[in-house]
Amino acid sequence: MQNLVILGDSNVICLGRALNSTSCEDLLGKVYIDYVFNGSLILDFVITLPGGREIINPMVLKSLVNAGLCHPYAGSPNPFKGCLVLMFGSTLVNSLGLEPGLRDITFHDVDADGMYFLPKGILLDAALEVCEKFERGLTILREYWPEAEIVIYGGPPPPRDSAKTRATMKLLDVPDPKLRLEVYRQNAEALRIISVRTSTSFALPPAAVLEDDGFIAEKYNDDGFHGTSLYGEVIIREIERIYLQHYYRLVDRSYD
C-alpha cells in the first residue's frame, strides 16, 4: 500500500511522466499516481443514484482500491492513514474558451470595445456552486478514511500568452488570459473555503512555477491548460516535501 496517493484528471499526467523519469526514481514505490478519467473530477467526483443517494464515483473508488486503499465497503477498520492528494484543474477556467460565442469579459474597463464587465463576486459564488458535489464527496471520503490526510491540490494557472493555448485548441474561442487568471483565483478561493469546511488540506502550485503576476511561467506551460513534465516534477517534489516526508516523520522514522 502506498502512503502517498495522487489521483486526478488530466492534470496528473505530467506528474506521472515526471515519476517515470530518472529524476524521480527515488520516489518509485512510494507514490501512487492515477489518472482517474478524462473529464472533470470536480463535476463527476460524486454520482447520484436513482434514489437520490450520492456515492463516490466508482472510477474514483477503483483508483483508490488500486492504490491499495481498502474498499470502503469491505468493512472496517480501514488502515489507510497516508496522504491522498486530489489534483484537478478549474472547470470554470477550462470552460472559458470552450463556449462558442463567449464574449470578452473584463473586470477593469467597461469602456473597452466589446468588453463585458463582470463584477467579481459572481465568480467565487459560481466556483462554489460548481464544487458543490465535490464538497459532498470530500465529506464522504472523510468518513471512509478518517485518519488519512486528504489534500486538494489545484492545477496550474493559465499562461499569460495565450498563443500556445490558441495553437493547441484551435477550434476554441480563447478569452483574455487575465479573465482566465481571475477565474482561476476565484476558483482557488472556493477550494480553500471548501477545504476548511471539510477538514481537508488545500494547496496551490508553488511560487517557483509562477510569474510575478500569477500566470504560470512559460517553461512550465504545456498546452495552455496543463503543465509540462518539468512542472510535474516540481509539483511532485513539492507534494513529497510537504506531505510524504511529513507522513513518514509521523509514522515511519526510518524515512529520516
Partner 1 sequence: MPRNFVLIYQAREGSSAIMEQLQRNDEVVMPLFEELDWYLLKELPVPSVAELLDRTFKTGNYQLARNTTLLPRYISHETKDTGKCIGFKWRIWGESDRIANVLRDHDVVVFHLLRSNLLNYSFSTYLSEQIVPLTKNGKNIGIKSGDQLQFYVSELPENERREFQQWLQSLRPTADIDVFCRIATEYVEHKKWVEDNFISGFRQKGLEVHTLRYEDLASDSDKFFARLRDIIGLSSRPVTPRFLKKVSPKSGPMQLQNLEEIERNLRYRDLSKTYDEFCEKIQALDTSGQWAPSSRPSGSQSRHLSCPYMKLLDRSFWSRAVAKTAFKDIDLLDRAPFTVTSEMKIATAGSCFAQNISRYLSRSGFNFFVTEPGPTFISKYASTILRSYNYAIYSARYGNIYTARQLVQLFDRAFGAFEPADTSWEDRGRFVDPYRPQIQPRGFETVDELHSDRLQHLAAVRRMFCELDIFVFTLGLTETYVSKLDGAVYPVCPGCGAGTYDADQHQFTNFDYGAVVEDLEGFIQRLKSVNAAARTILTVSPVPLVATAEPRHVLQSTTYSKSVLRAAAGWIADKYSEVAYFPSYDLIASPAGGAQYFAGDQRTVREEGIAHAMRMFFKHFCDRDMVQPGDQDFNVSSASVDAVKRDQLDLMARFAAVCDEEQLDRR
Footprint of partner 1 (CB under 8 A): 43, 91-92, 95-96, 98-99, 101-103, 105, 107-111, 116-123, 125-127, 129-130
Nearest CA to 159 out of 231, 211, 92 is that of: 211
Q: Write down the least CB distance from residue 218 to partner 1, Å.
A: 25
Least distance (Å) from partner 1 to the CB of residue 64? 25
Which helix or strand (DSSP H or E) is residue 29 part of? none
How far, in Å, CA of 227 to CA of 229, rounded? 7
Nearest to partner 1 of 19, 96 (CB atom): 96
Look at residues 206, 238, 244, 228 and name the one whose alpha carbon lies nearest to residue 31: 244
Helix (H, G, I), strand (E, B) or coil at 248: helix
CB of 129 to partner 1, least distance (A): 4
Nearer to partner 1, 55 or 105 (CB): 105
Q: Which CB, 77 or 100, lies closer to partner 1?
A: 100
Are 92 and 123 contacting, i.e. CB atoms less than 8 angstroms apart? yes
Closer to partner 1 by CB, 29 or 52: give it. 52
**Shortest gap between Cβ of 225 and partner 1 (angstroms)?**
15
For residues 74 and 184, give the distance between their C-alpha atoms in angstroms, rounded to a whole number: 38
129: Cβ–Cβ under 8 A, 6 or more apart, which residues?
Answer: none
Q: How far apart are CA 128 and CA 198, in angstroms?
A: 13
Residues, the chain, total? 256
Closest approach, Cβ 104 to partner 1, in A, equals 10
> Based on CB atoms, which residue is closest to partner 1, 20 or 106?
106
CB of 183 to partner 1, least distance (A): 8
Backbone angles phi, psi at 220, to 5 degrees: -95, -5
Q: Is the Cβ of residue 108 or residue 219 nearer to partner 1 in the bound state?
A: 108
Residue 174 CB, shortest distance to partner 1, in Å, is 12
Q: Which of 181, 199, 70, 50 is nearest to 135 (CA)?
A: 199
Residue 80's nearest CA partner among 63, 67, 62, 89 is 67
Judged by beta carbon, residue 67 or residue 92, the one nearer partner 1 is 92
Query: Which set of grid coordinates corresponds to residue 107?
Result: 473586470
Spatial contact of 175 and 115, defined as CB atoms under 8 Å apart: no
